[in-house]
Amino acid sequence: MAVVYIGLGANLGDRERTIRAAVERLGADPEIDVVAVSTLRETEPVGYVAQPRFLNGAAALQTGLAPRELLARLLAVEQELGRTRDGPRFGPRTIDLDLLLYGEAVVEERGLVVPHPRLAERRFVLEPLAELDPDLEVPGRGPVQALLATLE
């Protein structure tokens, strides 16, 4: 089973409740074990700024699902919790679940890039990852702590 890290985010509705519901739904999946969830942090929106602040965090999972299968489960949970994709790319959302890391894997397929392509640029992603595993290494990019230091 692979150790996988996902990003958690929301900026519409009851953000914390929605994120907790997403984690519960993932944990209810017999092929996904939720190992740990980071502290949730309030953060400024990136890109499209005329929107509410986000609540962001990360979760460590274990799964035997392939990366594409896991992504499909993440997207299904988003849809179940009211996520729509008809607004601006970086616009407001009820829930956002991003596949950040999938073990040591590097995946570059249409619609799926792992490690997440913007992971190293985002403090709201790196801080929760460092909280979950201070020694975490991002394949092809180095230690999370070093990536975080470049943002300071």
Interatomic CA distance for residues 129 and 74, integer angstroms: 18
Catalytic residues: 83, 93, 96, 98
Length of the chain in terms of residues written? 152
Contact assessment for residue 83 and residue 19, using Cβ atoms and an 8 Å cutoff = no
Nearest to 131 by CA among 3, 2, 5, 1: 5
